Structure 1
Amino acid sequence: MILEEIEARVLEDARRRDSEERATVERAVRWRAAVAEAKARAVEDQLVDVLREEAERWREAAALGEYCTALERRLGELDGAIDESDLDSARRWLEWAYGYARAIDPLLRLPGMPSTREPTPEELGPHLKGWSPYKPERRNGW
């Protein structure tokens, strides 16, 4: 009777250890998959940031270009109607402004695929759906 009880407990302990080991392996597999997906999304976030920055510079360059075109038109309207030194000053300003607008335009040169870097654990966090970025466990008891 005692021997049977000991054998039953040994078997139960072995089953429990096997079950815990399987759960640990399954958790690690799910975590690695979550990290891989989170890395892809975090790298995409990096690319989105670059795209938004370039689009903002392009919008600014376009707006400045429109300003320069309007100023050039206004100078043409005023030619001979105001002091020549004022016109010269405005033309120098216009020339500088055109140059600046061209310099910040990201489409003047053909853009290439931006370089990305390995995401930090903090960048992975929002994409991990409750997983820890450091080890195969859930955060906040999930």
Structure 2
Amino acid sequence: MHTEYERRQVQHRKEEETRERRLTAMRQARTALLEDCQLKAPRTQVQAWQEATAIRAYYDALEDHDVTLDAAEAATAWTTWARAYTDRIDPVPENPRLPEPPAITPEDLRPYLRGWSPYEPKWK
């Protein structure tokens, strides 16, 4: 038979274990969120680079194509604009860096917590 003191001790240990499991889940959630944020940067940069590369290749092909004299001025203007556009979207000349970590709110962590509350040591 347990005394009141023993019951409180058992309850205290259970609460402490729950807090520790939640803290572990919070650390893991933060790590996963930061990794997801870091993965978005290179994916976005690769997409922009691929688009810029494809547009440049297209306009290189247009410039190699014989253009009628009356269309040459319009084609040159269009090509000039397109090349300036590709220079703006191409991330390579900017020497991209790892993005700064975002400010993280408890709600940002919720999808990574596997059922834990982001506010208190309990399940949703």
Instruction: Normalising by structure 1, report the TM-score.
Output: 0.80
Cα distance in 2, alignment partners of residues 108 and 29 from structure 1: 46
Among residues 99, 105, 108, which one is paired with 2:84 in the alignment? 99
Residues 6-41 of structure 1 deviation map (CA, whole Å, 9 limit, x = unaligned):
xx7xx5211111000111111111111110110010
User: What are structure 1's unaligned runs of at least 5 residues?
Assistant: 1-7
- The corresponding residue for 2:40 is 49
Amino acid at match of 1:88: E
Where 1:112 maps in the other structure, the secondary structure is coil
Q: Aligned ranges for residues 9-24 of structure 1 at < 5 Å?
A: 12-24=3-15
Larger radius of gyration: 1
Query: Percentage identity across aligned positions?
Result: 32
Among residues 12, 28, 46, which one is paired with 1:37 in the alignment? 28
Count of equivalent residues: 124
Residues 94-133 of structure 1 deviation map (CA, whole Å, 9 limit, x = unaligned):
1111111121100112111111123222321221122111
Q: Alpha-carbon deviation of 1:93?
A: 1.0
Where 2:46 maps in the other structure, the secondary structure is helix
Q: Does 1:60 align with 2:51?
A: yes
- The corresponding residue for 2:97 is 112
- The corresponding residue for 1:83 is 69
Where 2:104 maps in the other structure, the secondary structure is coil
Q: Alpha-carbon deviation of 1:137?
A: 0.8
Instruction: Normalising by structure 2, report the TM-score.
Output: 0.90
Where 2:3 maps in the other structure, the secondary structure is helix
Cα distance in 2, alignment partners of residues 102 and 71 from structure 1: 18
User: After the TM superposition, which parts of structure 1 deviate over 3 Å for at least 4 consecutive aligned residues?
Assistant: none
Cα distance in 1, alignment partners of residues 19 and 118 from structure 2: 12
Cα distance in 1, alignment partners of residues 18 and 64 from structure 2: 68
